[in-house]
Chains A and B, each alone.
Chain A
């Protein structure tokens, strides 16, 4: 049972909360800026807000939306409540490749690093797909293969960390815990995200049936073979984008889908847009805290996703 029988009420609340969060995130930071700096071109803070903070806010929103949508898909695919987007090994693949690039000092341009991470994660996802594919995708194989592959990548990452210099280790740790401060805006992410949202909304009912069991969906007229494969590919793409952009931010993809199910029930026509909205807002909140709490020191955002997420989730789980 959901708390909000009436979805529109929750929509209004979350829309206002999101707007409030965006406003706050624009105005706070290493310097607090007055509100009129938003539109006053002559204000010294105008550029700080629109050149520095605004792109970072957009990135936080997009990465949050990608991760929670990916989490929703993967949990539905493998039917395991503990599944999160990183189950596909994409984080390990991306991290391993990006860390190797950092340590070899090949290039530090964010765009190049993004491409390397994106490629690494897709390779990892393809490897898992190959391992779990027997004429059709076997969701139960994904879980075990994914977990084992993740251990392999973790070993590779540890190896790189153990051999890297002190300064490199620090920037890598930041990256491994997730960090939005280096992220630059790229158009690929919003375009792909909204295309996928559109495709998934069209399949919302089929996804509901899939949540009632693979056999059930199949006998009721869903092409489960195709839908499972599509879910896998979309999860891989969404997670790869998020990881390449901001590192492995934990917790969002695991907890937000659960939270949203508690709030709006189990129908994907509500779950899909609501997961994206709440995931976006949640990551923005965590990132805003990460860059303000110990001002001027910036903390990895992964600390705050867990610090806020754990109590909120435990409270919701107890209450419902």
Chain B
């Protein structure tokens, strides 16, 4: 369980997010929506423990996030980055196996989990291929698989549907939905329809330090969506 108490995030002296209170519980699938530059990815970066430029308190099962060591943090939180970094030509199964790093489990167990994740992501056919020789969408699937193999209580997704075809988008959203039954999934997404269909909860960032949070049904109303995308409100 992740709890935010009065979290404020600054970027170059501008306040991006002010006094945010929200709680992510197991069994919840959160969608974070908002316009470009409103601070969605920055918020996710903070939640993932990658950035410490915030005030207020983030508690992970009651423990402050800032005090948790790297390995334990990665056991609790996995994070799909928006863009991949340039890297060496690892094999697909090696790349997905890297998600097991924080766990120190046996090699056999890691391999079992890797195989399982590959079939859940429908990428068994990529076994033995170099990740540098994949298409953009295939590479994205490998990155998602790496996060799933991490088996953490919180899965943070930064625009997971980028590069993916429509059929696969449906498939992978269902995978996330299943994942969220016992754990929490927090997703930044621009596809309002997908959020409406799959997310149980929504955090809407309106800019100017305004936000709304609650269940999808209460937040995704016509009035709120109009407010979100209405240019005149600026």
Task: List residues of chain A with CB under 8 Å of any chain B CB.
Answer: 1, 79, 205-206, 208-209, 211-216, 218-223, 261, 265-267
Does the CB pair B50–A209 fall under 8 Å?
no
Known A266-B90, A266-B94; judge A213-B73 contact (CB<8 A): no
Residue from B75, B85, B91, B130 in contact with A216 in the complex, judged by beta carbons closer than 8 Å: B85
In the assembly, what is the distance between CA of A287 and CA of B164, in Å? 54
In the assembly, what is the distance between CA of A220 and CA of B84, in Å? 14
Question: What mask results when residues 41 to 52 of chain B are scored 1 for a CB within 8 Å of chain A, else 0?
Answer: 000000010100
Known A215-B50, A219-B48, A261-B88; judge A209-B98 contact (CB<8 A): yes
**Total contacting residues, chain B, CB less than 8 A:** 28
In the complex, what residue of chain A is closest to B48 when comparing beta carbons? Answer: A219
Q: Tell me the smallest distance from the CB of A89 to a CB of chain B, in Å.
A: 25
Sample of 18 A–B contacts (CB below 8 Å): A208-B90, A209-B98, A209-B101, A211-B88, A211-B90, A212-B88, A212-B90, A212-B95, A213-B84, A213-B86, A213-B87, A216-B81, A216-B84, A219-B78, A220-B102, A221-B71, A221-B102, A261-B88
Asked if B74 CB lies within 8 Å of chain A CBs, one says yes
Q: In B17-49, which residues have CB < 8 Å from any A CB?
A: 48
Does the CB pair A266–B89 fall under 8 Å?
yes
Given contact pairs A211-B90, A216-B87, A261-B88, a sample of 20 additional A-B residue pairs in the complex whose CB atoms are under 8 Å apart: A79-B86, A209-B101, A212-B85, A212-B88, A215-B50, A215-B81, A218-B50, A218-B70, A219-B48, A219-B50, A219-B74, A220-B74, A220-B78, A220-B102, A220-B150, A221-B102, A222-B70, A223-B69, A223-B70, A265-B91
In the assembly, what is the distance between CA of A211 and CA of B73, in Å? 20
Asked if B99 CB lies within 8 Å of chain A CBs, one says yes
Those 4 A-B pairs whose CB atoms lie nearest each other, nearest first? A221-B74, A213-B85, A221-B102, A212-B87
In the assembly, what is the distance between CA of A267 and CA of B98, in Å? 11
Does the CB pair B101–A220 fall under 8 Å?
yes
Q: Which residues of A contact B94 (CB under 8 A)?
A: 208, 266-267
Q: Tell me the smallest distance from the CB of A174 to a CB of chain B, in Å.
A: 37
Does the CB pair A266–B101 fall under 8 Å?
no
Residue from A208, A214, A223 in contact with B85 in the complex, judged by beta carbons closer than 8 Å: A214
In the assembly, what is the distance between CA of A206 and CA of B98, in Å? 9
Question: What mask results when residues 89 to 115 of chain B are scored 1 for a CB within 8 Å of chain A, else 0?
Answer: 111001100110110000000000000
Does the CB pair A219–B101 fall under 8 Å?
no
Does the CB pair B85–A219 fall under 8 Å?
no
